[in-house]
Amino acid sequence: MTHDASAHAFETRAIHAGQEFDPTTGAIIPPIYQTSTFVQDGIGGFRGGYEYGRSANPTRDSLQTLLASLEQGSSAFSFASGLAAEDALLRSVLTPGSRVLMGNDVYGGTHRLVNRVWAPWGVTLETVDMSDLDAVRAAARPGETTVLWVETPSNPLMKITDIAGLSEIGRAAGALVVVDNTFASSYVQQPITLGADAVVHSTTKYLGGHSDTLGGAVVVNDDELASKVGFMQFGAGAISAPMEAWLTVRGIKTLGVRVDRHSDNAQLIADALVSHPAVETVYYPGLESHPGHALAARQMKRFGGMLSVGLAGGPAAAKTFAESTELFQLAESLGGVESLIGYPSEMTHASVKGTELEVPENVIRLSVGIESGNDLLADVLQALDRI
Ligand code: PLP
C-alpha cells in the first residue's frame, strides 16, 4: 500500500512521505542506494529515470520528497552541508551587481559566504535588523535588492521576525525572501506557508537530530526557481551522499517528539535563569519578557530548544560558565539529542568578530538536548555556582 502523505498531519508525513517500502523485498525501510551509477537497458534505457548519482539517487529522492512535504513546498533539494545548500540557492539567483539584504545576526558562516565568497564576484551585502520591519522596508531597494535573507529565531540572540510581513516587503521590492529554518526546524514553523519564497536548512542540526551527519537543504514552491536550484545541484554537484541522506531521513521521523522535548527543557531552564543573580539576560522567545514573544507564539508551534544567556559577570564569567558544565558539552553545532554549550563570539560567530554582527562577549549559547530536564537544569546551576 502506498500513502497519500499529503493528506496527513506533520507527524504522519514525517514518517511516511517519500518512504514507501521496498517493492522487491518488502523491506519496510527503503534501502540505502549506495551506488555511483545505474545500469542502462540499452543506451538511454534508464530504470526509473536513474542514470548517475550526481543527477539523482533514490535515497536522496526519498529525503527530498520528505523535506518538500514537511515544509509544504513543491520541491526540495538536498546538499552536502547547510552552506552548500545556501550557496546553490544563491548561485541560482545572484548575478554580478546583485544586492543581498541579510539579517544582522545570522549564522556567521552565512554572512561569510556572501561577504567573502560572493563579494569578489560583484555581489553587495547589506545587513539590517530583520525583526524591525520598518528598517527592512527602508533598506530594501525595489529593483535592486535581489534577496532578503532571514533567520528567525536568529542566531544566537533569538530575535523573532514576522515572516508574513517580511514576505510582503520582499514581494513589493521584487526580492526573493529566504528563511533559514535551521533553528526553528520544520516542525515549529513552515515559512513557505507564510509567504516565503525559499527555505534553507542545515539538516546537520534538528532534522538529522543526532549529531552524526552533515547536510543541507533548499525547499522552494515555484517551478522556475526549482529548475534553477535543481540545475545547480546537478551542475555544481554539492549533493548529499546516500548514507547522509538516509541518516537524515531516519532522524526526521522523530523530529516532532524531539522538538517537543527540546522545547520543554529549554523553557524549564529559561524560566529558572531569568531571576538568577549571575545572569543579566536570557534570550528565549518562550519568555513573556522576550520582545518577540507574542509574535513567536503566533508564528511558531513551539519555542524550540535554543536559548542564549548573557552573564552579568561579563566575558570571563561567560567563558567560565561554558567550561564548567558537565552534561552540556562544549562544542560547535546544535540541534542534536545531546545538550551542547558554545561561546559564539569565539566559536560559531568568530568569523564576524569586528563586524556589526559581532556577538556580545558575555553571551553563551545553549542547545538544550532531550536528556532529563531536571538533570540539565542542575548542571546549568552548578556551572553558574562556579563563576
Ligand atoms: N544555518 C544555521 C542557522 C547554522 O547554525 C548553520 C551551522 O551552524 C548553517 C546554516 C550552516 O550549516 P552547515 O554547518 O551544515 O554547513
Atom of ligand 1 nearest to the CA of 215: 15
Name residues whose C-beta falls within 8 Å of residue 288's C-beta, 6 or more positions apart in sequence.
none
Looking at the structure of the chain, the number of domains it has is 2
Does 20 share its domain with 155?
A: yes
- DSSP code at position 29: S
- Domain CATH for 371: 3.90.1150.10
Closest residue to atom 14 of ligand 1, CA basis: 82
Q: Could you count the other beta carbons within 10 Å of the beta carbon of residue 143? A: 8
From residue 380, give the alpha-carbon distance in Å to each of 19, 281, 375, 384: 40, 15, 9, 6
Does 238 share its domain with 283?
A: no
Q: What is the pLDDT of residue 256?
A: 98
Q: Could you count the other beta carbons within 10 Å of the beta carbon of residue 216? A: 28
Answer with the one of 252, 282, 315 that is the final residue of a domain. 252
Q: What is the pLDDT of residue 5?
A: 59
Instruction: Name the helix (H) or strand (E) containing 69.
Output: helix 58-71
CA gyration radius for the chain?
Answer: 21
Does 132 share its domain with 62?
A: yes
Q: What is the pLDDT of residue 2?
A: 43
Name residues whose C-beta falls within 8 Å of residue 60's C-beta, 6 or more positions apart in sequence.
78, 239, 240, 242, 245
CA max distance for the chain: 74
Backbone angles phi, psi at 209, to 5 degrees: 80, -5
- Does the residue 365 lie in any domain? yes
- Domain of residue 89, residue span: 10-252
Query: What is the grid cell recorded at 88?
Result: 546553490
Q: What is the pLDDT of residue 352?
A: 80
Does 136 share its domain with 245?
A: yes
Does 183 share its domain with 278?
A: no
Residue 258 bears catalytic tag: no
Closest residue to atom 11 of ligand 1, CA basis: 82
Residue 205 bears catalytic tag: yes
From residue 201, give the alpha-carbon distance in Å to each of 116, 132, 196, 313: 21, 23, 14, 34
Closest residue to atom 15 of ligand 1, CA basis: 82
- Does the residue 5 lie in any domain? no
Query: What is the grid cell recorded at 296?
Result: 513567536
Q: What is the pLDDT of residue 144?
A: 96
- Domain CATH for 228: 3.40.640.10
Separation between Cα atoms, residue 3 and residue 8, nearest integer Å? 9
Mean pLDDT by 10 residues, the chain (387 residues): 69 97 96 98 95 98 98 98 98 98 93 97 97 98 97 95 98 98 98 98 98 98 98 98 98 98 98 98 98 98 98 97 98 97 92 84 98 98 97
